[in-house]
Structures are given as structure tokens and as C-alpha cells.
């Protein structure tokens, strides 16, 4: 942190107390604050959220915080890309002003944060009914970590508007439910997934991919598009669509075998209101989503059909 | 609600949205709001909290809400005293002004609230490490319900100051930890337990007691005072103190047998920082607490020795 060059127009806070003073003045000036929570390694997806916030609000704040509570002990907390200087430079390049809070783990989790969930102490937020399926099958404590840290940040930032990307669609459903039911005084905005020119969903984890893996990384989006195409032209029977998408991933897996390991985690067609799997014809729109390992990198993507969150 | 007489000086909101408008004006006027969460059935303990809030803040709000999430299916949710008219009259009698939010269960829990915890849907807050012992032994989901509803109300009321009674000492520890770790932007005040002239701690549940039960209800306070007296004069060895207190309750139980059933739930001497039982000499102060059934009424009480929360 000491060698950080703060580019012009960018304000960086490391202390929650200092950030709050800045925020309070905005309130007393009767101006509004838009908020974009991030784990850093900013890409065009994040910048699109900041752009949206800029349009609607007088001020925009980001948080950059790699949240330990949402990583399982076997996951990539240690290697998750931390690129603070590049993040600040990217913000300065695209925006005239932005405020960034970069808090320490010890300030965010005053009771500490053990990697082992059973040893954790302190308050945690769980969104029951929406956290155990889909991503939650492979990552059972992920949304607990997300809901907890987003709650903390909403209490700290107290924004009028908050921005999330549709790329993490289950996160959107979980946080939307949490904001509504916990009565957070904030309006939630869900912005479209930003994609590379070939269609790959932007993700900080894309930087893990080797050139060959990058080529095959499109397999999940192709599978989702196949389901969409069939849904629009052939059949609305969810299990048939999932089977076709699974077959496409399996075929790609076999083709790639020599140069790149591909492993399907799940393909799902779920109800947007319950996140339960659609087991028959899709009636009131759906969330098509999936997760695939390309090499050791776990990629997720989704399409929402005939429905808005 | 329709036949409610709103006494002079008392403002009652039933809708969260309307309450928020009132609250926002206070903020824009740069005035402060003190908040007293209650389940109604107001007694002098609650009124003392309101008094404290009045001293420190420009405005005072109470919530009156019997929170289903903190009652187990076998507990007294259905019979818990609901005395809204008397509550408003008491406020008007003691204070020139007060604002009361009386929300509906459906607005507080938009996803509904099932009595069976395993069927519950939506966000819940759990304060790990401080919720399973003492009261949590008999009431394993109690503090989850309390932490959840207090979080909701802090988000709705957004007070500068919030007031709790020391009578519910574990609740104070749980909420204090939650406010700190979740970064709620509020200062927590813990006020002394208010007692009847004979020493019985004020409680809305005291109204359950028959005259004979009322006579024996003092057994817990007597046990706590015995421990305090021994701590100050004889020994600081926690298990010895707990044994003496337990013996006193058992003796009273035998005396009462013919006219009143008394059952000890627990007597505890715990560390204020961890709520773990002290198993040797008390060193840095302690929380002496306990729960006793008098008839079917469960009473709790506590004394804090050489320590402040």
C-alpha cells in the first residue's frame, strides 16, 4: 500500500471511519451515492457498473476487498488476483472521479475470520432457500460469505444505489432477497453481463487461463446459447435442453482432452423466483446457468430468458 | 388496531415507508434519533430506556413488535402479552413526545416466517460463538431471531443511539458484537436492570405469575445475590459459587413444592468477553446469570461483577 500512486481524480480510503466522514458530507449536501462492491482485479464488467452508477448518482464509491469469508479452504483465496495499482489506474483512465474504500481484513472482521466455517466467531448472514443449490452445491458457504460482507459494506457505505453484474446471477438473487427482507435502505441495480468479443463473460478469474484454455473457455457460453436457441425454436422442455447442453460440453471435453482438461460442474435451468430446478416445460421464464472447470479455473455464466430479476 | 386511541404527543406508524419519511426529515434537520426496540407490554424497564434516549437525542422512536423468529414452536408466541393501547398510554403519561413503529409480521418478514427453523426462507443473522450457550442451550434459535430482527430494525430506524436493558445480558453481548462486527453505524447503550421494590427484575413475562408464584419468583435474584455476596466476602471460585446458588434454588424448590413448582434451568458464571463458563477463580470480572421456571413462566436475571459491557 505504501508505494501506491494515487492517480488524479481518485480518492482512496483505507479506514472505514475516514470513509464515513466523506460519505456523511454527501448526505448532508443532499447528494446521492452509488456503490459498486468488488474484489478488485477490475475489468470492463466492473467499469460498466461504475458507469451506470455515475449516470444515476452524484458520487460513486467502490470497495475493493478480497473477502475471505466467501472462499472455502480449498479455493483460490491466496492466489486471487490483487492488482490495486492497475485498478486505480483503470478507474482514473475511464472516469473523472471515483472514491475507493480498500479496508483491511482485520477491520472488516473484528472477531477474525477462520477459514474453517465451524470455527468462525461473530455475526454472519445466511439467505436460506437460495444459497444451497447451483453454486451452493459446490460452494456451500459461498453465499453466506457474500451476504455477510455485502451487509457489512451496505452498513458502511450507506449508498442510495448499489450495482451488481448479472454474471453472478445467483448472487444477484441472494442479495436482492437480502436487501428486500433485511430492509436495507438502498435500491439494487442488476447490470447485463459484459463479454469479450467472442462472447466469454468477463471475469477476474479469466486471467488464470492459458491461451489454449482461453480457447476452450467458451464451452459454457456455447452450451447456454444452444439451450437458448432450442428454447426459442425447438422445445421448452428443460431436461431436454440441459441434456443437449451437457452433451455439447462432453463433446468439447473429448475434443480438448489432449491439450486442456474440461470438467462440467453443473448446467441448470431454474425458476428465477425460487432457484429450484425446472423439471418440465419452462413456463414463466428461467435462469439458464452453469459452471465448468477449464484446467483448474472454475468459470460460471448464465442467460436469463423471458424474465427480469 | 382500528379502535386504537392515539394519545396526545404519541405518533404511531404502521408502515415502514411512512416511518422512513419521518426519520429522513430528522436527518436532514441534522437532529438525532434514539431508538428503543421492544416487544411491547411496556414496563418501567422500557420506560427507563426511553428516558435515557430522551436525554441523549432530539427524537426517540420505539418499535413494538412481537418477533416470531425468536420464539420456538413450543414457546409463548401466541400468549405473549400484547397491550398496545396501554403501551401508548404509558408513553404519553411519562413523555411529552414519542414515535412508535408497529409493523406487521408480513412487512417485517416478506418471505414469511415459518415456526420450524428448517423450513425458514430468507435472510437470517447468526452471531456465532455467543448464541449457543446460557440462554441458547434451552433456546437454540433465540438469538438468531433476535439478531435478525434487530438488524432489520436498525436498517429501518437508522438511529444514532440504540438502547437495551442489561436484564437480557446475553442479548446485549450478542447485539454488541453484531453492531461492531457488522459495522452498524449506531452507538449501543446498555442500561441497568430495573427492579420491583423487592428486587424482582422487571419483565413483560412477570404478568404470567400468580400471586403465589410471584412470591417465589425472587428465588433467582436471591441466588445471584448469594453468589455476589460470597464473591465479595468469601471466595472467587466460580464452581463453588454456582454450587451454593444451585443449593439455594433447590432448597426453595422443596419449600415451595406444595404451592408452586420451581425448576432451575441454569446458573452460570461466565466470562463477559467469550460467554464461556468460568471453571476456576473469577479473574477479570464476570457475568452471573441464570434462568428459573416458576410455574410455567421462565424468568431470567443477571448481575455483572467488576465488569462493564
Shortest alpha-carbon distance between residue B248 and chain A (Å): 35
Q: Do A155 and B128 touch (CB under 8 A)?
A: no
Report the chain A residue with the minimal C-alpha distance to residue B186. A155
Q: Which of A46, A59, A132, A141 is the catalytic position?
A: A46
- The percentage of chain B sitting over the pLDDT mark of 70, rounded to a whole number, equals 99
Q: Do A128 and B129 touch (CB under 8 A)?
A: no
Question: In this predicted complex, what is the ipTM?
Answer: 0.96
Positions of E strands within chain A:
10-13, 33-38, 59-64, 98-101, 122-128, 161-165, 187-191, 262-270, 286-294, 297-305
Residues of A in contact with B152 (CB under 8 A): 181-183
Q: Do B20 and A185 touch (CB under 8 A)?
A: yes
What is the dotted CATH code of the domain comprising B205-305? Answer: 3.30.1300.10
Q: What does each C-alpha distance from B249 to A98, B223, B233, B255 come to in angstroms?
A: 64, 7, 21, 10
Q: Do B122 and A110 touch (CB under 8 A)?
A: no
Residues of B in contact with A183 (CB under 8 A): 16, 108, 152, 155-156
The CATH number of A204-305 is which of 2.30.30.100, 3.30.1300.10, 3.40.50.2300, 3.90.1150.10?
A: 3.30.1300.10
pLDDT at B200: 98
Suggest the residue from B118, B181, B184, B274 to mutate for an interface test with chain A (most A CBs closer than 10 A). Answer: B181
Residues of A in contact with B122 (CB under 8 A): 127-129, 177, 181
Q: Do B183 and A155 touch (CB under 8 A)?
A: yes
Region A230-243: mean pLDDT is 98
Give the model confidence (pLDDT) of B17-70 as tens digits: 999 999 999 998 999 999 999 999 999 999 999 999 999 999 999 999 999 999
Give the model confidence (pLDDT) of A158-171 as tens digits: 999 999 999 999 99
Q: Which of B147, B177, B185 sits opposite A20 (nearest CB)?
A: B185
Residues of B in contact with A127 (CB under 8 A): 122-123
Shortest alpha-carbon distance between residue B143 and chain A (Å): 11
Suggest the residue from A113, A183, A271 to mutate for an interface test with chain B (most B CBs closer than 10 A). Answer: A183
* Domain residue ranges of chain A, discontinuous segments joined by +: 10-191, 204-305
Give the model confidence (pLDDT) of B294-304 as tens digits: 999 999 999 99
Give the model confidence (pLDDT) of A101-143 as tens digits: 999 999 999 999 999 999 999 999 999 999 999 999 999 999 9
Average pLDDT for chain A: 97
pLDDT at B305 over 90: yes
Shortest alpha-carbon distance between residue A207 and chain B (Å): 32
Beta bridge partners of B190: B164
Suggest the residue from A113, A143, A182, A188 to mutate for an interface test with chain B (most B CBs closer than 10 A). Answer: A182
Provide the grid cell at A169.
Answer: 446471477
Average pLDDT for chain B: 97
Distance CA B244, CA B252 (A): 13
pLDDT at A3: 87
pLDDT at A150: 98
pLDDT at B2: 65
Residues of A with CB under 8 A from a CB of B: 16, 20, 27-28, 30, 108-111, 120-130, 147, 151-152, 155-156, 158, 177-178, 180-185
Give the number of residues written for chain B. 309
Task: Judge contact between A143 and A127, C-beta under 8 A.
Answer: yes
pLDDT at A1: 55
Q: Do B123 and A123 touch (CB under 8 A)?
A: no
Residues of B in contact with A130 (CB under 8 A): 121
Q: Do B16 and A109 touch (CB under 8 A)?
A: no
Give the model confidence (pLDDT) of B201-249 as tens digits: 999 999 999 999 999 999 999 999 999 999 999 999 999 999 999 999 9
Element housing A93 (H / E): helix A84-94
Q: Which of B123, B147, B183 sits opposite A127 (nearest CB)?
A: B123
Residue A158: HSE in the Cβ half-sphere, 13 Å Cα cutoff? 20
- The percentage of chain A sitting over the pLDDT mark of 90, rounded to a whole number, equals 99
Q: Do A123 and B158 touch (CB under 8 A)?
A: no
Q: Do A123 and B127 touch (CB under 8 A)?
A: yes
Q: Do A128 and B122 touch (CB under 8 A)?
A: yes
pLDDT at A201 over 90: yes
pLDDT at B3 over 90: no
Q: Which of A299, A291, A281, A301 is CA-nearest to residue A241?
A: A281
CATH architecture for segment(s) A10-191: 3-Layer(aba) Sandwich (3.40)
pLDDT at A2: 65
Amino acid at each position: 500500500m505504501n508505494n501506491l500512486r494515487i492517480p488524479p481524480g481518485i480518492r482512496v480510503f483505507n479506514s472505514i471511519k475516514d470513509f464515513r466522514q466523506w460519505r456523511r458530507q454527501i448526505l448532508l449536501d443532499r447528494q446521492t451515492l452509488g456503490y459498486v462492491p468488488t474484489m478488485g482485479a477490475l475489468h470492463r464488467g466492473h467499469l460498466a457498473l461504475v458507469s451506470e452508477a455515475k449516470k444515476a448518482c452524484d458520487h460513486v464509491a467502490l470497495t475493493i476487498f478480497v473477502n475471505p469469508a466467501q472462499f472455502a479452504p480449498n479455493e483460490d483465496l491466496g492466489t486471487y488476483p490483487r492488482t490495486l495499482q492497475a485498478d486505480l489506474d483503470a478507474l482514473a483512465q475511464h472516469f473523472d472521479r471515483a472514491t475507493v474504500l480498500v479496508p483491511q481484513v482485520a477491520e472488516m472482521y473484528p472477531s477474525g475470520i477462520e477459514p474453517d466455517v465451524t470455527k468462525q466467531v461473530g455475526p454472519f448472514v445466511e439467505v436460506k432457500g437460495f444459497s444451497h443449490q447451483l453454486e451452493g452445491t459446490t460452494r456451500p458457504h459461498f453465499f453466506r460469505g457474500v451476504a455477510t460482507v455485502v451487509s457489512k459494506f451496505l452498513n458502511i457505505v450507506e449508498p442510495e444505489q448499489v450495482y451488481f453484474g448479472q454474471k453472478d446471477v445467483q448472487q444477484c438473487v441472494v442479495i436482492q432477497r437480502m436487501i428486500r427482507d433485511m430492509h436495507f435502505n438502498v435500491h439494487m441495480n442488476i447490470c447485463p453481463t459484459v463479454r469479450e468479443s467472442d462472447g466469454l463473460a468477463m471475469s477476474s478469474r479469466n486471467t488464470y487461463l492459458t491461451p489454449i484454455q482461453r480457447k476452450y473457455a467458451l464451452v459454457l457460453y456455447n452450451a447456454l446459447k444452444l439451450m437458448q436457441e432450442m428454447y426459442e425454436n425447438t422445445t421448452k422442455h428443460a431436461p431436454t435442453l440441459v441434456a443437449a447442453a451437457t452433451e455439447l460440453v462432453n463433446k468439447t471435453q473429448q475434443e480438448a482432452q489432449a491439450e486442456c482438461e474440461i470438467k462440467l460442474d453443473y448446467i441448470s435451468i431454474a425458476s428465477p423466483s425460487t432457484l429450484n430446478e425446472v423439471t418440465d416445460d419452462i413456463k414463466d421464464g428461467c435462469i439458464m446457468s452453469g459452471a465448468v472447470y477449464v484446467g483448474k479455473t472454475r468459470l460460471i455464466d448464465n442467460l436469463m430468458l423471458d424474465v427480469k430479476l
